[in-house]
Amino acid sequence: MKTFTKKLLGTMAFSALMAGSAMATECEVTHWWTSGGEAAAVAEFAKAFDATGNKWVDGAIAGSGGVARPIMIGRITGGDPMCATQFNHGRQAEELVEAGLMQDLTELAEKEGWRDVVHPSSLLDSCTLDGRIYCVPVNIHSWQWLWLSRQAFEDAGVDVPTNWDEFVAAAPALQAAGKIPLAMGNQAWQASGAFGVITVALGGIDLWTKINVDKDGDAAAGPEMAKVFNAAAAAREFRKNSNVQDWNQATNLVITGKAGGQIMGDWAQGEFQVAGQVAGEDYECLPGLGVNQVISTGGDAFYFPKLDDPEKTKAQLELASLMLSKPVQVNFNLKKGSLPVRGDVDLAAANDCMKKGLAILADGNILPDGNQTLSPDTTGQIEDLMTEFWSDDSITAEDAQARYAEIIANAD
Amino acid sequence: MNNPATLSVAVASADVINERSGASAGPRGPRPKRRFSRRNIIIYGTLIVVALYYLLPLYVMVVTSLKGMPEIRVGNVFAPPIEITFEPWVKAWAEACTGLNCEGLSRGFWNSVRILIPSVILSIIIASINGYALANWRFKGADVFFTILIFGAFIPYQVMLYPIVILLRELGLYGSLTGLVMVHTIFGMPILTLLFRNYFTSLPQELFKAARVDGAGFWGIYLRIMVPMSLPIFVVAIILQVTGIWNDFLFGVVYTKPDLYPMTVQLNNIVNSVQGVKEYNVNMAATILTGAVPLIVYFISGKLFVRGIAAGAVKG
Amino acid sequence: MIATALVVFVGGTVWTVVYSFTDSKLLPRLNFVGLEQYERLWATNRWLISIENLLIYGTLSLIFSLVIGFVLAALLDQKIRFENTFRTILLYPFALSFIVTGLVWQWVLNPDFGIQHIVRSLGWESFAFDPLYNADIVIYGLLIAGLWQGTGLIMCLMLAGLRGIDEDIWKAARVDGIPMWRTYIFIVIPMMRPVFITTLVIIASGIVRVYDLVVAQTSGGPGIASEVPAKYVYDKMFLGQNLAQGFAGSTMMLLAVLVVIIPWAYLEFGGKRRPT
């Protein structure tokens, strides 16, 4: 397998081997990819990197980015940086870059023409500060999916919905059959994410952009947004009794037919795959809730803290170049269930849902991810509000909207 | 204020006598007359019910860790395993994956030991000297120092997280074992110093005075008189520190790097690496394995612990 | 080492307070914005709920720990058989971390597998006990777990205190024909004042810091119904990447500690001179 990868990597790997053959440079990479599919995807990186004569030291930290990021930031600001680290696209590492703690990748990017290969180009923009490039986007993850269990709807004796309105109409039948219409875990980001999906699906891209990009408080307080809040208030009735914490436990409710559907990002697909379910047969996926076919282009990126050791710096650049190379992009994203960041690779092995995503991506019906447009602080405030709103019936749609508008108006 | 203090000295000497004679401290209540009196039934009944409540989670942990996943999905948490399997234990110890590392908890065990031993020894030495100085030597600023320590006992760890990152960075100790040991030592100081101070205060002052008259110095008195008389409180301190440091997650994960992560971090990684369904059986096995060290310390030293607590914490 | 402690505790505190008046985000920087962080803090629903939860949890935990701890200690002090066994059973949870405690109780209280499921399968279909998924009672779910973990230590402290009561006092009380419960309440408890004070300090310092238990058991949910201040501080500092907001929260916590606990603890411990 190793030799195969080496061949695949071609001359670049070969030259690296020549240069670094004396001693393998260890490179510790921190990330929070610990679920089955995620770990398999990371292994692709590691395998390819080891083949260049360097050594991938895995620094996985479990418990989602929320647990891992403080540790990574602590390491970097504490003067003991790792060789490379994962962050989500966008503003999470902004200040670390501003403080000059991150490696400048511009030279490499220009040499390899990242501007031309990375698609959509907004991904690279998120890595760019004052014209310099500081990170490597590795995949695209989109939030805007409604996952539906065929079995649940059959048990309830109704057709599998093809859009959100039909889903709402079918919900009482599901409830009558003892199903949870909408599975949702108790973590704040899930509530907030689902709300974002409802916003873009029912309110449209323009409204979403006004609020999340332009931070227009008036739009957030307006009548169009009021519709979205009312829809969400209705939807929170559907999520009752989903007594789970983690997102994939909620997905599991859909897989086992105990719940009708779940609003969750495309990473949920990995869970269906692990459970041996087939898209279109056992489960359905509706991008943009079947209303507004768009996907957001958030995802993961790798940053490379500045290191004193020139050997390590060299290894960092090799890793950066490797992560964006064609074969690694294909292997990694197939395992991860995410979309590649290059438009010029072939993903024949992708399943139905992934293909739907690729088609939308090719059509350019894309919007940036919340992480790219809002600061982590604002994101956190919205999460607090949303988790409260989704779990507490006493908060009316009007109250929640007023508070939401205030957060948006004060966003930085 | 004087009354209980005087009393505590009397109590202390009574305790010392008790220990010397080897008699376990006897109960003071009236002796029961019949074995099955109503009173006995109430006492034992209550205790047994309470003991069941306390044992229930342990039972659930053990039972769950011995079940296979299919059994967990259908059954309830209290049902005993139909088919006992040790697979979860093996997996928790040696096979559970975090990212690319599939070494289970075993990876963290020795790290935990390496963190634990120096931290416990160092923190106890320093806290006992502090307590001794505070109790027997009225040095300048002792009151201020003591107030700060009490304050330190109440500071939420999260608050100090960031300043310590900066401190360790400036000292160049960030990410090293030394840095973590230092952090544990500092955060163990408040409560431990309090315990040692209270204990040393309760020792008869005559001993200290006699030693001074004989010309013994600060260290002489500490090593030759105070330490040999203080076994119970050292036991308490060891137990508290072993428990606290072994169970620490926050400092371990923030101030070290992956190759030095303690077992609790590995536990968190296993518990939070949800792959499909939560593998409760592996989680529970991992939990028991992680808790084993402090649990063993407790079961071994239960009696000493109570006696030490009696001597150290109680005399105010 | 004394100097280190001073630097860490005092320096760290001062540093935190100073930076709470800035607009530091991911990295600390000295750009002062006055009381802005505090205004936002007290306008934030989640912070207010956190404070309320801490008050409820703290009060109940204090009362129950003391009462249960004392009653158990009194029971164990009746010259019973198997005292060591009972004591070990009551104390062992203290050896387990809050993370473990939270996990186990999350499991036991899970409505689909745990207690609720059992009672329902016994035929009582309408039985509902799902504290971790019901915002109104979630704080009691935390309390059950917190007490399970902590009362053993309190019991030990109390037991040690009871063992320190002079046998003659019991004899005298019996000679005077005072019933046992009255002896406990009017004679023994007042004599155990130092024990109660030590216990209070230990319980109180644990309450202010409560964090791990919440994270492991409920992650603050459902919604924000079981949030606590320490978690707010941590989340704002590290997840929200808004250090100053977190510092403002921690400064309020420290202030509360200073105002309520320090003068009192100092009077009890530091102000007293040894009786020589």
For chain A, domains (ranges, CATH) are: 2-141+298-362 (3.40.190.10), 145-296+374-409 (3.40.190.10)
What percent of chain B is predicted at pLDDT more than 70?
Answer: 81
Residue in A265, A132, A118, A117 with CA at minimum distance from that of residue A189: A265
For C27, name the nearest residue in chain B, comparing CA atoms only.
Answer: B162
Q: B149 and B289 share a domain?
A: yes
Q: B150 and B285 share a domain?
A: yes
pLDDT at position C13: 86
Q: B77 and B162 share a domain?
A: no
User: In angstroms, how far apart are the furthest CA atoms of chain C?
Assistant: 73
Q: Are strands A128-129 and A132-133 parallel, antiparallel or unpaired?
A: antiparallel
pLDDT at position C267: 67
Could you give phi then psi for residue A355, rounded to 5 degrees? -65, -40
Which of residues 222 through 241 in chain B touch C, CB cutoff 8 A?
none
Residue B246's domain spans which residues? 106-312
| Dihedral (Cα; A153, A159, A160, A161), 10-degree rounding | -120
Rg of chain B over all Cα atoms, to the nearest angstrom: 24
pLDDT at position B30: 53
Tell me the chain A residues in contact with residue C223 when contact means C-beta distances shorter than 8 Å.
Answer: 387-392
* Interchain pair C164, B160: CB under 8 A: no
Q: B139 and B66 share a domain?
A: no
The size of chain C, in residues, is 276
Over range B242-248, report the average pLDDT. Answer: 87
Q: Which amino acid is at A314?
A: K
Burial degree of A157 (CB within 10 A; 0-12, 13-18, 19+) = exposed
Could you give phi then psi for residue A181, rounded to 5 degrees? -60, -50
B4 assigned to some structural domain? no
pLDDT at position B29: 53
Tell me the chain C residues in contact with residue A95 when contact means C-beta distances shorter than 8 Å.
Answer: 25-27, 241
SS3 call for A56? strand
| Cα C53 to Cα C262: distance, rounded to the nearest angstrom | 22
Tell me the chain C residues in contact with residue A303 when contact means C-beta distances shorter than 8 Å.
Answer: none
For B252, name the nearest residue in chain A, comparing CA atoms only.
Answer: A71
Q: B281 and B210 share a domain?
A: yes
CA atoms within 13 A on the CB side of C259: 6
Tell me the chain A residues in contact with residue B253 when contact means C-beta distances shorter than 8 Å.
Answer: 61, 71
Mean confidence (pLDDT) of chain C: 83
CA atoms within 13 A on the CB side of A327: 15
Establish whether this prediction's ipTM goes over 0.85.
no
**Listed range (B253-257, B309-313, C16-20, C162-166) with the worst mean pLDDT:** B309-313
Over range A6-19, report the average pLDDT. Answer: 41
pLDDT at position A5: 43
Q: B156 and B275 share a domain?
A: yes
- Give yes or no for a contact between C109 and C141, defined as CB atoms under 8 angstroms apart: yes
- Give yes or no for a contact between B281 and B96, defined as CB atoms under 8 angstroms apart: no
Residue A23 binned pLDDT confidence (cut-offs 50, 70, 90): low
Number of Cβ atoms within 10 Å of the Cβ of A303: 26
In this complex, the residue of B58, B146, B309 whose CB is nearest that of residue C157 is: B309
pLDDT at position B276: 55
Number of Cβ atoms within 10 Å of the Cβ of B84: 11
B250 assigned to some structural domain? yes
B14 assigned to some structural domain? no
Q: What is the total count of domains within chain B?
A: 2
| pLDDT greater than 90 at residue B35 | no
Angle, helix A188-198 to helix A376-391, in steps of 10 degrees: 90
| Cα A302 to Cα C241: distance, rounded to the nearest angstrom | 19
Residue A17 binned pLDDT confidence (cut-offs 50, 70, 90): very low
The segment with the largest mean pLDDT, out of A14-28, A307-321, B248-262, C162-176, is A307-321
- Joined tokens for residue A132: 């310099």
Contacts B–C by Cβ distance under 8 A = 293
pLDDT at position B174: 84
pLDDT at position A20: 41
| pLDDT greater than 90 at residue B120 | yes
- Joined tokens for residue A178: 């003892």
For B164, name the nearest residue in chain A, comparing CA atoms only.
Answer: A78
Residue B222's domain is classified under what CATH number? 1.10.3720.10
**Listed range (A1-10, A237-246, B154-163) with the worst mean pLDDT:** A1-10
Beta strand segments in chain B, E: none
Which of residues 163 through 202 in chain C touch B, CB cutoff 8 A?
163-167, 169-170, 174, 180, 191, 193-195, 197-198, 201-202
Tens-digit pLDDT profile for residues A81-123? 899 999 887 777 888 888 889 999 999 999 998 988 887 888 8
Residue B309 binned pLDDT confidence (cut-offs 50, 70, 90): low
For B24, name the nearest residue in chain C, comparing CA atoms only.
Answer: C163
Is the peptide bond preceding residue C222 cis, with omega within 30 degrees of 0?
A: yes
* Interchain pair A245, C219: CB under 8 A: yes
Tens-digit pLDDT profile for residues B88-114? 888 888 877 776 777 778 878 888 999
| Cα A173 to Cα A128: distance, rounded to the nearest angstrom | 49
Bridge-partner residues for A27, per DSSP? A56
Bridge-partner residues for A129, per DSSP? A132
Over range B127-146, report the average pLDDT. Answer: 82
Report the sign of the C-alpha dihedral through residues C217, C222, C226, C230, in that order.
positive
Bridge-partner residues for B167, per DSSP? none
Q: How far is B100 from chain C (nearest CA, A)?
A: 24
Q: B73 and B220 share a domain?
A: no
pLDDT at position A172: 92
Cα angle value B259/B264/B270 (rounded, 5°): 85
For A58, name the nearest residue in chain B, comparing CA atoms only.
Answer: B100
- State the residue for tokens 């186990």: C104
| Cα A140 to Cα A142: distance, rounded to the nearest angstrom | 7
| Cα A258 to Cα B295: distance, rounded to the nearest angstrom | 40
Q: Which helix (H) or strand (E) holds B304?
A: helix B280-312
| DSSP type of residue C131 | G
Over range B228-245, report the average pLDDT. Answer: 83
**Listed range (A209-218, B19-28, C33-42) with the worst mean pLDDT:** B19-28
| pLDDT greater than 70 at residue B146 | yes
Tens-digit pLDDT profile for residues A334-379? 888 788 888 788 777 777 888 888 888 888 888 888 777 888 889 8
Q: B244 and B300 share a domain?
A: yes
Residue A13 binned pLDDT confidence (cut-offs 50, 70, 90): very low
Q: B123 and B246 share a domain?
A: yes
Over range C57-80, report the average pLDDT. Answer: 90
pLDDT at position A149: 93
Domains of chain C: 2-270 (1.10.3720.10)
Mutate to test the interface with C, among B166, B306, B307, B315 (most CBs of C within 10 A): B306
B220 assigned to some structural domain? yes
Mutate to test the interface with A, among B107, B162, B275 (most CBs of A within 10 A): B275
| Cα A249 to Cα B275: distance, rounded to the nearest angstrom | 9
- Joined tokens for residue A151: 């079995």
Tell me the chain C residues in contact with residue B56 when contact means C-beta distances shorter than 8 Å.
Answer: 108
| Cα A338 to Cα A360: distance, rounded to the nearest angstrom | 14
B101 assigned to some structural domain? no
Mutate to test the interface with A, among B97, B180, B183, B274 (most CBs of A within 10 A): B274
- Give yes or no for a contact between C249 and A380, defined as CB atoms under 8 angstroms apart: no
In this complex, the residue of B55, B159, B302 whose CB is nearest that of residue C91 is: B302
pLDDT at position B18: 37
Residue A303 binned pLDDT confidence (cut-offs 50, 70, 90): very high
pLDDT at position A14: 40
Over range A139-150, report the average pLDDT. Answer: 90
In this complex, the residue of A66, A94, A387 whose CB is nearest that of residue C221 is: A387
| DSSP type of residue B256 | S
Over range B176-205, report the average pLDDT. Answer: 85
pLDDT at position A15: 41
Tell me the chain C residues in contact with residue A245 when contact means C-beta distances shorter than 8 Å.
Answer: 219, 221
pLDDT at position B266: 81
Q: How far is B151 from chain C (nearest CA, A)?
A: 6
Mean confidence (pLDDT) of chain A: 85
Beta strand segments in A210-299, E: 259-263, 283-287, 295-296
B2 assigned to some structural domain? no
| pLDDT greater than 50 at residue B284 | yes
| Dihedral (Cα; A385, A391, A395, A397), 10-degree rounding | 80
Over range A291-302, report the average pLDDT. Answer: 87
pLDDT at position C12: 85
Residue C2 binned pLDDT confidence (cut-offs 50, 70, 90): low
Q: B49 and B113 share a domain?
A: no
Over range C128-144, report the average pLDDT. Answer: 85
For B314, name the nearest residue in chain C, comparing CA atoms only.
Answer: C195
B95 assigned to some structural domain? no
* Interchain pair A31, B277: CB under 8 A: no
Report the sign of the C-alpha dihedral through residues C51, C54, C60, C62, in that order.
negative
| Cα B243 to Cα B298: distance, rounded to the nearest angstrom | 9
Q: Which residues contact A60 (CB under 8 A, 6 or more apart)?
A: A30, A31, A32, A33, A34, A39, A42, B98, B99, B100, B101, B269
Mutate to test the interface with C, among B48, B71, B77 (most CBs of C within 10 A): B77
Q: B197 and B77 share a domain?
A: no
* Interchain pair A73, C26: CB under 8 A: yes
B274 assigned to some structural domain? yes
Tell me whether A58 touches chain B (CB under 8 Å).
yes
- Give yes or no for a contact between A336 and A38, defined as CB atoms under 8 angstroms apart: yes
Mean confidence (pLDDT) of chain B: 77
| Cα C53 to Cα C226: distance, rounded to the nearest angstrom | 7
Residue in C202, C31, A283, A51 with CA at minimum distance from that of residue B309: C202
Chains touching C (at least 3 CB pairs under 8 A) are A, B
What percent of chain B is predicted at pLDDT more than 90?
Answer: 7
pLDDT at position B5: 34
- Give yes or no for a contact between B164 and B255, defined as CB atoms under 8 angstroms apart: yes
Q: Which residues contact C70 (CB under 8 A, 6 or more apart)?
A: C158, C189
* Interchain pair B5, C274: CB under 8 A: yes
For C276, name the nearest residue in chain B, comparing CA atoms only.
Answer: B205
| pLDDT greater than 50 at residue C180 | yes
Q: B76 and B122 share a domain?
A: no
